[in-house]
Amino acid sequence: MKKILGMLAVIGLTASTATSVVACKPDKPDKPEGVVETIPLPKNPTTKEELVTLINTDAQTINTKINELFVKIKPLLDEHKDVSEAIYFVEEFKDSEDIQDAIIGQYTIMAINAKTALFLAKYTPTDQVKFFNENKENLQKIEFDLTFTEIDHEDGLKSEYIEKFVNRIAGDPDLMKSITDKTKERLKKNIEWIRDDKFQKVD
């Protein structure tokens, strides 16, 4: 999978950072109604047990799909090595469903990391580390500890860190030149999914 740190490079960029790219082509028509999304939003977890399932099952399935997609889109990306973060800024990529799915997959993994951080922020730093260690292998596969380095800080994860992160990724779709309107709407749904906090703290 393309490293989360690599894709996070797009966060906070301004439109002026994008290199000149090829002319825009019109969006492809939406898929017919009833077609299942390649990477659907997972169930919004309400309990610790559901979050563990999200991390250990749903996230790993998405991770596998992203790996497969990056194998398929590598030739496309290689054609635009001169464009920084080409996956986000080459307008002709609007014509590639695989590119759209790869971006959706990346941002869904970020959403899962943010959802996990929201849950952990309800607990003490000691309990946060305990949960992380219990699920460390699969959390590291989605690079949770690289996305939210505060998990290693003495004060632990706090809600303000997470909201700042969510606000930053919420603005990303407006900077991307490679995504269709449909993909942009899906990424907005990711943000809504993160912010819809259904967790009940269990003492």
CB distance 36 to 13 below 8 Å: no
Closest by CA to 182, choosing from 28, 10, 21, is: 28
Cα torsion through 165, 88, 66, 186, rounded to 10: 70
Per the domain annotation, does 148 fall within a domain? yes
C-alpha 73/C-alpha 71 separation (Å) is: 6
Q: How confident is the model at residue 200 (pLDDT cuts 50, 70, 90)?
A: confident
pLDDT surpasses 70 at 111: yes
Query: Domain range for residue 106?
Result: 45-79+90-195
Token pair in block for residue 93: 């990529």
Average pLDDT over residues 138-166: 94
pLDDT of residue 202: 54
Q: What does the DSSP assignment read for 69-89?
A: HHHHHHHHHHTTTTSTTHHHH
Rg of the chain's alpha carbons, rounded to an integer?
17
pLDDT of residue 94: 96
Q: Percent of the chain scored above 70 by pLDDT?
A: 80
Per the domain annotation, does 15 fall within a domain? no
Per the domain annotation, does 118 fall within a domain? yes
Per the domain annotation, does 32 fall within a domain? no
Q: How confident is the model at residue 38 (pLDDT cuts 50, 70, 90)?
A: confident
Per the domain annotation, does 4 fall within a domain? no
Per the domain annotation, does 9 fall within a domain? no
pLDDT surpasses 50 at 4: no
Per the domain annotation, does 37 fall within a domain? no
How crowded is residue 202: how many other Cβ atoms within 10 Å of its Cβ? Answer: 9
Per the domain annotation, does 29 fall within a domain? no
Number of domains in the chain: 1
List pLDDT tens digits, range 56-101: 999 999 999 999 999 999 999 999 999 999 999 999 999 999 999 9
Closest by CA to 27, choosing from 194, 182, 171, 169, is: 182
